[in-house]
Structures are given as C-alpha cells and as structure tokens.
Amino acid sequence: MADDARRAHRVRRHYVDDFAANSEFLLSNTAYTLSGWQSATGLDAHSFAANPDFVSLTPSAPTDFVLQSGSPNIGTGAALGSSLASGVAPGSTWPASVSIARQPAAWDIGAFIVP
C-alpha cells in the first residue's frame, strides 16, 4: 500500500465522513468517491458517508457536536472492549464540567454518548 493510502486510511478509518456518498476527495492528484476508494484500495470497509445530524448545523462549540436522536452515528460504532467503553456525556462542558458515560450495547460514533 502506498504511503498516501496508509495516511488516508489512518485519517479516515471507521469514521463517518460529512460529505455526500458521491462526493469526491482528492488524494495524490487522484479523485475518489468513498465507494471508489473502497474498491481501489480494499480499505475502509466499515466507513460510510452521511450527515451526522449534529444538534447544530454550524457547530462552533463542543456541545454543538452532540448527535440528534436520529443520527446514523448512533449504534453503528465498533465495540472496542470494556476498557474503552466510556465517552463524554451530553451536557458536558470543557474543562470545568466533563462527565463520562458508558457506551450503550451498540456503540455510537463520536465523542458524545447519546442516552
């Protein structure tokens, strides 16, 4: 695998990208869609492109990145084991008031846990 593909894999691995499924991104002067990238490299089999449905359409504060209840990120994360099963509880503010919550049985993608 080329170095650029390794770097992109580390950056994009298992994340929900905030662009439409048919949108292109450029890597080493080659344009890819997500499905084209997956076919060409065999990487990112668990990635998908969807609007994460943050509580704010123009997030600027950390709490703006909380997911709405209908987000495609809810329950679609990979379970990483009990030692990593914590996330930031909704309503937390940095640095004064950060609360931790446990991931539900089907893990969410993102920092904030959706109750």
pLDDT of 83 above 60: yes
Average pLDDT over residues 21-43: 87
Distance of alpha carbon 50 from alpha carbon 37, whole angstroms = 16
SS3 label, residue 25? strand
Which residues fall within 8 angstroms of residue 88, CB to CB, at 6 or more apart?
Answer: 98, 99, 100, 101, 111, 112, 113
Look at 5-9, 26-30, 50-54 and tell me which has the smallest mean pLDDT: 5-9
Domain boundaries, the chain: 3-49, 52-115
- pTM given for the model: 0.64
Q: Where are the beta strands (DSSP E) in the chain?
A: 16-17, 25-27, 30-32, 48-49, 86-88, 100-102
**Closest to 62 (Cα-Cα) out of 103, 91, 86:** 91
pLDDT of 92 above 50: yes
pLDDT of 9 above 80: no
Per DSSP, what are the bridge partners of residue 26? 31
- What are 13-22's pLDDT values in tens digits? 444 444 566 7
pLDDT band at 2 (very low <50, low <70, confident <90, very high): low
Average pLDDT over residues 61-71: 83
